[in-house]
Amino acid sequence: MVYRNRLIAGLKETRKRRRRRQLAVGLSELLARVLEELIDESEFRGPDDFLFHRPDGRPVEPKVFREDILYPAMGRAGIPVESRATGLHLFRHTAGSLLNKKTADLKRVQVQLGHADIGTTADVYTHVDLETVHQNAADLESVFLEACGGFGPILGPRKTN
């Protein structure tokens, strides 16, 4: 993870329900290299400096980041910007949904997002895309037809005029 302008491997502490717990936070090698390069190229490398900052070293305000960077990038990508529905938190939902689609392992998604309750991961942070909905229908059809021995028993003979 990135903490105070340093890449720190391993654990992040969080407090929920009045108890401390440690979460494993994964960082890919590619992302670690990109972040290390950003740190190396920055003139602000102190322990209290920000990785993403204004020209004077102060932190980039979330509103400025959304309006000046995120929303224009989304517009260029053809992604609609909806009030109160598209912000940085959207990336957590996207990451959860994509990881779940790739791995079909909800426990892995829960660990990556740092949720104490897998229900939060399943009910709030993972979403099913239209492609998966269509694939579910095709899979159900296949299972049903296999169980019934094909179209014939279901549809009966074709009517001719």
For residue 98, the model assigns a pLDDT of 94
Q: How does residue 72 score in pLDDT terms, banded at 50, 70 and 90?
A: very high
Q: Report the distance separating Cα 44 and Cα 28, nearest Å.
A: 24
In a domain, 147, yes or no: yes
Q: Report the distance separating Cα 95 and Cα 113, nearest Å.
A: 8
Does the global pTM surpass 0.75? no
Residue 85 pLDDT exceeds 80? no
At residue 4, φ and ψ (nearest 5 deg) are 50, 50
Q: Which domain holds residue 22?
A: 1-54
pLDDT tens-place string over residues 12-30: 556 565 666 666 667 889 9
In a domain, 71, yes or no: no
The structural domain count of the chain equals: 2
Buried-exposed string 124-160: b where 16+ CB fall within 10 A, e elsewhere: ebbeeeeeeeeeeeeeeeeeeeeeeeeeeeeeeeeee
